[in-house]
Amino acid sequence: MAWFRNLSSGVLRVVWLSTLIALLTACGFQLRGQLPLQQYQAIYIQAERHSALAAILSHRLQHHQIDTLDSQQADSPRLMLQHDSLERRTLSLFPNGQVAEYELIYQVRYSVQMPGQQEQYFEFELFRDYQDDPNRALAKAQELDLMLNELREQAAQRILRQLGRLGA
Protein backbone atom coordinates (compact mmCIF):
# COMPACT_ATOMS: atom_id res chain seq x y z
CA MET A 1 0.00 0.00 0.00
CA ALA A 2 2.88 2.41 0.77
CA TRP A 3 4.32 1.90 -2.72
CA PHE A 4 0.94 2.93 -4.19
CA ARG A 5 0.97 6.21 -2.22
CA ASN A 6 4.54 6.93 -3.38
CA LEU A 7 3.59 6.13 -6.96
CA SER A 8 0.46 8.31 -6.90
CA SER A 9 2.31 11.26 -5.32
CA GLY A 10 5.07 10.92 -7.95
CA VAL A 11 2.54 10.83 -10.77
CA LEU A 12 0.74 13.80 -9.26
CA ARG A 13 4.01 15.76 -9.18
CA VAL A 14 4.73 14.97 -12.84
CA VAL A 15 1.21 16.00 -13.88
CA TRP A 16 1.45 19.22 -11.84
CA LEU A 17 4.89 20.06 -13.27
CA SER A 18 3.75 19.32 -16.84
CA THR A 19 0.72 21.56 -16.39
CA LEU A 20 2.88 24.37 -15.02
CA ILE A 21 5.34 24.12 -17.94
CA ALA A 22 2.49 24.07 -20.46
CA LEU A 23 0.96 27.21 -18.93
CA LEU A 24 4.27 29.08 -18.87
CA THR A 25 5.01 28.12 -22.47
CA ALA A 26 1.52 29.10 -23.62
CA CYS A 27 1.79 32.61 -22.14
CA GLY A 28 5.09 33.32 -23.96
CA PHE A 29 7.30 33.19 -20.85
CA GLN A 30 11.04 33.19 -21.53
CA LEU A 31 13.85 32.96 -19.03
CA ARG A 32 15.47 36.28 -18.28
CA GLY A 33 18.42 36.88 -20.55
CA GLN A 34 16.93 34.84 -23.38
CA LEU A 35 16.27 37.47 -26.02
CA PRO A 36 14.59 36.84 -29.38
CA LEU A 37 17.56 38.01 -31.45
CA GLN A 38 17.98 34.99 -33.71
CA GLN A 39 16.58 36.97 -36.68
CA TYR A 40 19.87 38.93 -36.80
CA GLN A 41 22.89 37.33 -38.42
CA ALA A 42 25.16 40.32 -37.88
CA ILE A 43 24.89 43.91 -36.61
CA TYR A 44 27.10 46.92 -37.15
CA ILE A 45 27.70 48.95 -33.98
CA GLN A 46 28.76 52.54 -34.59
CA ALA A 47 30.16 54.24 -31.48
CA GLU A 48 33.06 56.26 -30.14
CA ARG A 49 36.38 54.50 -30.38
CA HIS A 50 36.73 53.28 -26.76
CA SER A 51 33.08 53.16 -25.73
CA ALA A 52 32.57 50.85 -22.75
CA LEU A 53 28.87 50.50 -23.58
CA ALA A 54 29.71 49.43 -27.16
CA ALA A 55 32.14 46.82 -25.82
CA ILE A 56 29.47 45.41 -23.50
CA LEU A 57 26.91 45.35 -26.34
CA SER A 58 29.37 43.60 -28.63
CA HIS A 59 30.09 40.98 -25.97
CA ARG A 60 26.37 40.41 -25.36
CA LEU A 61 25.69 40.03 -29.08
CA GLN A 62 28.51 37.49 -29.40
CA HIS A 63 26.94 35.61 -26.47
CA HIS A 64 23.76 35.34 -28.59
CA GLN A 65 25.82 34.11 -31.60
CA ILE A 66 25.41 37.39 -33.50
CA ASP A 67 28.44 38.76 -35.34
CA THR A 68 29.44 42.39 -34.98
CA LEU A 69 30.56 43.90 -38.26
CA ASP A 70 33.58 46.18 -38.79
CA SER A 71 31.75 48.27 -41.40
CA GLN A 72 28.18 49.03 -42.41
CA GLN A 73 26.60 46.61 -44.89
CA ALA A 74 23.35 47.25 -46.77
CA ASP A 75 21.67 44.03 -45.58
CA SER A 76 22.48 44.33 -41.88
CA PRO A 77 21.05 46.51 -39.10
CA ARG A 78 23.06 49.43 -37.75
CA LEU A 79 23.09 50.36 -34.06
CA MET A 80 24.51 53.84 -33.50
CA LEU A 81 25.40 54.82 -29.94
CA GLN A 82 25.13 58.58 -30.12
CA HIS A 83 25.68 59.54 -26.50
CA ASP A 84 26.07 58.01 -23.07
CA SER A 85 26.92 60.05 -20.00
CA LEU A 86 26.82 60.01 -16.24
CA GLU A 87 25.53 62.95 -14.24
CA ARG A 88 25.42 63.41 -10.47
CA ARG A 89 22.75 65.31 -8.62
CA THR A 90 23.16 66.14 -4.93
CA LEU A 91 20.52 64.54 -2.71
CA SER A 92 21.78 65.32 0.78
CA LEU A 93 24.64 67.00 2.65
CA PHE A 94 26.60 66.28 5.82
CA PRO A 95 26.31 68.91 8.60
CA ASN A 96 29.69 70.30 7.52
CA GLY A 97 28.38 70.98 3.99
CA GLN A 98 30.05 68.05 2.17
CA VAL A 99 27.91 65.93 -0.11
CA ALA A 100 26.58 62.84 1.65
CA GLU A 101 24.44 61.32 -1.09
CA TYR A 102 24.22 61.62 -4.87
CA GLU A 103 21.71 60.49 -7.42
CA LEU A 104 23.56 59.03 -10.41
CA ILE A 105 21.82 59.55 -13.75
CA TYR A 106 23.10 57.48 -16.67
CA GLN A 107 21.75 58.83 -19.97
CA VAL A 108 21.86 56.91 -23.23
CA ARG A 109 20.85 58.06 -26.71
CA TYR A 110 21.03 55.68 -29.63
CA SER A 111 19.44 54.92 -32.98
CA VAL A 112 18.71 51.76 -34.91
CA GLN A 113 18.41 51.51 -38.66
CA MET A 114 17.01 48.28 -40.03
CA PRO A 115 17.76 47.44 -43.69
CA GLY A 116 15.45 49.37 -46.00
CA GLN A 117 13.80 51.31 -43.16
CA GLN A 118 14.01 54.75 -41.58
CA GLU A 119 16.37 55.29 -38.68
CA GLN A 120 14.59 55.13 -35.30
CA TYR A 121 15.82 57.16 -32.33
CA PHE A 122 15.68 56.13 -28.67
CA GLU A 123 16.84 57.54 -25.37
CA PHE A 124 16.48 56.61 -21.73
CA GLU A 125 17.86 57.35 -18.29
CA LEU A 126 18.82 54.98 -15.49
CA PHE A 127 19.01 56.13 -11.87
CA ARG A 128 20.97 54.99 -8.81
CA ASP A 129 21.54 56.49 -5.37
CA TYR A 130 25.13 56.69 -4.21
CA GLN A 131 26.26 57.51 -0.67
CA ASP A 132 29.57 59.30 -0.48
CA ASP A 133 32.01 59.17 2.42
CA PRO A 134 35.07 61.44 2.19
CA ASN A 135 36.86 59.31 4.82
CA ARG A 136 36.78 56.31 2.46
CA ALA A 137 37.55 58.00 -0.85
CA LEU A 138 39.34 55.05 -2.50
CA ALA A 139 36.66 52.51 -1.58
CA LYS A 140 33.93 54.88 -2.71
CA ALA A 141 35.70 55.48 -6.03
CA GLN A 142 35.80 51.72 -6.63
CA GLU A 143 32.14 51.44 -5.63
CA LEU A 144 31.28 54.20 -8.11
CA ASP A 145 33.13 52.32 -10.89
CA LEU A 146 31.20 49.14 -10.07
CA MET A 147 27.93 51.04 -10.07
CA LEU A 148 28.73 52.61 -13.45
CA ASN A 149 29.50 49.16 -14.88
CA GLU A 150 26.15 47.90 -13.55
CA LEU A 151 24.40 50.83 -15.21
CA ARG A 152 26.14 50.05 -18.51
CA GLU A 153 25.14 46.38 -18.26
CA GLN A 154 21.55 47.38 -17.58
CA ALA A 155 21.63 49.83 -20.51
CA ALA A 156 22.99 47.12 -22.82
CA GLN A 157 20.18 44.76 -21.79
CA ARG A 158 17.63 47.47 -22.45
CA ILE A 159 19.05 48.18 -25.92
CA LEU A 160 19.06 44.47 -26.77
CA ARG A 161 15.44 44.11 -25.64
CA GLN A 162 14.55 47.02 -27.95
CA LEU A 163 16.40 45.32 -30.81
CA GLY A 164 14.40 42.17 -30.13
CA ARG A 165 11.13 44.11 -30.34
CA LEU A 166 12.15 45.83 -33.59
CA GLY A 167 13.04 42.56 -35.28
CA ALA A 168 9.92 40.69 -34.17
Residue 5 has what pLDDT? 56
Mean of all residue pLDDT scores within the chain = 82
- Is the CATH number of domain 36-167 3.90.1150.10? no
The domain segmentation of the chain, as residue ranges, is 36-167
Instruction: Calculate mean pLDDT across residues 83-91.
Output: 90
C-alpha angle 122-45-151 in degrees, rounded to nearest 5: 60
CA separation for the pair 155, 95 (Å, rounded): 35
CA separation for the pair 83, 40 (Å, rounded): 24
| Eight-class DSSP state of 48 | -
Residue 63 has what pLDDT? 86
CA separation for the pair 40, 126 (Å, rounded): 27
Residue 16 has pLDDT above 80, yes or no: no
* pTM for this prediction: 0.72
CA separation for the pair 8, 57 (Å, rounded): 49
pLDDT digits 0-9 by tens, 30-44: 555 555 566 778 889
Residues 6+ apart with CB under 8 A from 51: 81, 84
CA separation for the pair 96, 94 (Å, rounded): 5
Using alpha carbons only, how large is the chain's radius of gyration in Å? 23
Backbone φ, ψ for residue 17 (5° rounding): -65, -40
